Chains A and B, each alone.
Chain A
């Protein structure tokens, strides 16, 4: 299978590889996929206000999966949460020229973004919830 130059570039020079402190209240973590399926993506965001100021990823998967998640971190950095939620897998497919058999890689990357934002929001809600609980008592 021939890979597009953009996939090769992300595979050879992945952007934003690493991990953020998953216990930090300003960090959202999304882990999607499963080892038996051959793809696991972990995508993390650091949020200030409603803006994603940093993003990191680690991916177990084929070159297209690595490239999709690398590209996703690049795209969401600097975006607001609402803007990041609008990213669609089809944009990733187009940008990386993914063949049909690799579309699931882009779906996984979109899912990872959504899962990370969901995790961040859930953390925030439980915190405000906890803060309100504290205020009541």
Chain B
């Protein structure tokens, strides 16, 4: 067994050896510029790029012409939101999103607010899911765009994408979804799901870092965007810059593998996740699931271990690589905005751990991680004055704590 055990697949994934193998010739042998029209080097590169476009389109039910290459989801989000807002500003200035979105969306939304747009930040329910009804209620005649993530990166909760997409199409409002965590994990079909723009990122699906795409619908409706990077007019003018051919080849291969193995990996990772969840919930008391039991990614488990602080728990399980919603592990010293939006409570937000299983995870890994976590929680609870109170029958929440932050 390789230690530490990697269980942070929502943060990033290793490049699949099959992906790396596909990429390698494009660094040295087939190094051409895909925009070079006058020689074989350019043609080979262009051919490889077009093959990748098809592989990516096939994963999400799009056509190859609708794929725009970017440096990753953050750039795709910037292009989608700013590009659409600028293009359709005359039609209206209202945008709908949710409080549980990734910072990439929230920060772009804030930027647009400064530019004079009005943004409604919907609150998700306690499981992190935004309801169709709340989107419908927020719709106004001047609404031009709805941005709603497919799967949440912290708690794995899935939003009702198909229903929201249908609503947007009925109202003539553009629909963008951040599918960074969903693509390659669950079925995604931009036609059936009525999606107008969608982003995904290479490194979340066993492809390289620094490459991603924005899917931009070409008909029904044809989405037009104001480019955010000007230059040589690459990518139908929407994103200039010489194409990163090796990474594009890698992303294409990663999407092909994700598509062909989606059904089996869904079942396999779900079984691993369910086993981890079952062990934690049967062997420990005072544990809370953060997320939605029904509508959730198969490979995500977010748990709050009450009365144990997340960072100290991570320190106690040095053989397992996970992340926490605790303030102490972030640069901002603020606990997770997602858990706060879900009204989880700041005490439980400090106690949350996100486990992610992936392609390389085995049942042996999961068992070792579970054993390690359970032992560390027990040990830290022996140290915890809050656990002592809870055992004495005092709810720490009922105490009037005097401290400021």
Contacts and interface: CB of A to CB of B under 8 A. Distances in A.
B99 to A, nearest CB: 19
Interface in B56-104: none
Interface in A56-93: 58-63, 65-66
Contact of A42 (B333, B385, B404): B385
A36 B347 contact: yes
Interface string B364-405: 000000000000000000111111100000001100011111
A74 B328 CA distance: 25
B326 interface: yes
A62 B307 contact: no
Contacts of B386: 35, 40, 60
Interface stretch (B27-35, B42-50, B288-296, B309-317): B309-317
Interface residues of B, number: 31
Contacts of A14: 383
B156 interface: no
A39 B309 contact: yes
B27 to A, nearest CB: 34
B205 to A, nearest CB: 28
Interface string A13-39: 010010100000000000111111111
B335 A38 contact: yes
A61 B308 CA distance: 7
B384 A60 contact: yes
A35 B384 contact: no
Contact of B401 (A1, A36, A66): A36
A35 B389 CA distance: 12
A60 B307 contact: yes
B327 interface: yes
Given A33-B403, A62-B328, A101-B333, A38 B383 contact: no
Nearest to B329: A1
A59 B311 CA distance: 13
B350 interface: yes
Interface string B91-127: 0000000000000000000000000000000000000
Contact of B385 (A1, A36, A60, A101): A60
B346 interface: yes
Given A60-B309, A63-B312, A17 B347 contact: no
A68 B387 CA distance: 19
A39 B405 CA distance: 9
B396 A66 contact: no
B334 to A, nearest CB: 11
A109 interface: no
A74 to B, nearest CB: 15
Nearest to A111: B403
B385 A66 contact: no
Contact of B315 (A35, A36, A41, A63): A63
A62 B312 contact: yes
B350 A11 contact: no
A39 B333 CA distance: 13
Contacts of B346: 35-38
Contacts of A31: 385
A42 B392 CA distance: 15
A60 B308 contact: yes
A1 B323 CA distance: 12
B403 A38 contact: no
A17 B403 CA distance: 23
Nearest to A115: B402
B312 A58 contact: no
Interface string B310-351: 011001100000000011110001010000000001110010
A38 B327 contact: yes
Nearest to B384: A60
A59 B383 contact: yes
A17 B382 contact: yes
Contact of A38 (B309, B345, B384, B385): B309
B312 A11 contact: yes
A66 B346 CA distance: 20
A37 B405 contact: yes
A107 to B, nearest CB: 10
Nearest to B348: A35
Given A35-B347, A36-B347, A101-B333, A58 B403 contact: no
Contacts of A33: 401, 403
A40 B346 CA distance: 13
26 contacts: A11-B315, A17-B382, A31-B385, A33-B401, A35-B350, A35-B386, A35-B397, A36-B347, A37-B403, A37-B405, A38-B309, A38-B327, A38-B328, A40-B386, A40-B396, A42-B385, A42-B388, A58-B383, A58-B385, A60-B307, A60-B309, A60-B386, A61-B309, A62-B326, A62-B328, A66-B312
Interface of B: 307-309, 311-312, 315-316, 326-329, 333, 335, 345-347, 350, 382-388, 396-397, 401-405
Kindly list the 4 A-B residue pairs having the minimum CB-CB distance in the complex, ordered from nearest: A34-B401, A42-B385, A35-B347, A36-B346
